[in-house]
Structure 1
Amino acid sequence: MSKLDGNERWKSKMLLTEHQEQYEQRNDSKTSRKQPTEEELTMIRDYVLLPHMLSMVQKSIDDIGHHSNLLKQLYVMAGQAVMNKISEDLYGLRRELSRRNIKIINDEQVDLIVYHRFICRGYEDRFGMVRDVMRSEIGIRLAKYVKEIAGKLAAK
């Protein structure tokens, strides 16, 4: 039995519904500000994909370098241009994530899913991507970068 039991004054204290709603909205807005938005989740996904893309393009450049080909110099230069564009995008993405106070910590692979832990303004969660989805997304992105570089070459 608490000290308030039997005290009739506490029974008359009521919380109005509008005050209850205001209280709940204030608490909801505090927690929702911490969770990442859809745009921020897209940024996290890009942050995960871009380093893989860089390593794939670097591997292709290295493979081309080991073979003798008439257009070897052109292929290497085009690959380097794609790498520069990816690096530029990754640098901008890192700055934006830092500005929004989002940190991506590490990755782990469980079965066919690659997980990355992230902290977004105090909210901590895991972001997972299936390897096949990563592969297809990287293919689409690389095609866009190559198309962009080809467009610049065709304009000259």
Structure 2
Amino acid sequence: MQRAESQDNLLVKSYILLPLILSAFERDASAISSELRTPAPYLEVIQTAVHAASADLREVRAGMRARGLKVYEQQRLEAGVEAKFICRGYHERMLLLDDVIAAQATLHMRRYLGMEKMKQR
């Protein structure tokens, strides 16, 4: 049986993570706009991050199409998110644990917000 290659797995993982990141940005923007007196500068930073994450998601989707990948089912489990996908005709399964999702989402969100370099200081 042919297994999905590492690039395939990275694309599927990004396909799962990026919508979660976009939802987190939207939720945070809503909270900021209702709680702060001057939310505009913060919302601009978040909006820039949303545009970058959306562009990455479009690239991931194009990459998946080019490599013959299609996620046909996502399911929220107690431990994380399970995705079932087709990789060039073969059915595969990926489970992302909540801890992995949180860690990866934090790294990506820092990068989208321009905080990647700040952490290295």
Return the TM-score normalized by structure 2: 0.89
| Alignment of 1:37 onto 2:5 | yes
**Larger-Rg structure:** 1
Name the amino acid aligned to 1:53.
Answer: I
Ranges in structure 2 where 5+ consecutive residues have no aligned partner: none
Work out the CA distance in 1 between the residues paired with 2:20 and 2:82. Answer: 14
Answer yes or no: is the 8 Å Cα contact 1:109–1:115 preserved in 2: yes
- Counting only pairs closer than 5 Å after superposition, residues 6-155 of structure 1 correspond to structure 2 as 31-32=1-2, 35-70=3-38, 72-147=39-114
Answer yes or no: is the 8 Å Cα contact 1:64–1:76 preserved in 2: yes
Counting aligned pairs with the same residue, the percent is 22
| Per-residue deviation, residues 101-148 of structure 1 (Å, max 9, x unmatched) | 100111123321311000011110111011111011100111111126
Matched pairs, number: 118
Structure 1 residues 85, 150: closer, same or farther in 2, change over 3 A?
farther
Name the amino acid aligned to 1:106.
Answer: E
Structure 1 residues 105, 116: closer, same or farther in 2, change over 3 A?
same
Answer yes or no: is the 8 Å Cα contact 2:110–2:116 preserved in 1: no
Answer yes or no: is the 8 Å Cα contact 2:21–2:105 preserved in 1: yes
Structure 1 residues 76, 64: closer, same or farther in 2, change over 3 A?
same
Secondary structure (helix, strand or coil) at the match of 1:134 reads: helix
Work out the CA distance in 1 between the residues paired with 2:104 and 2:24. Answer: 13
1:150 Cα offset (Å): 8.9
1:36 Cα offset (Å): 1.6
Return the TM-score normalized by structure 1: 0.70
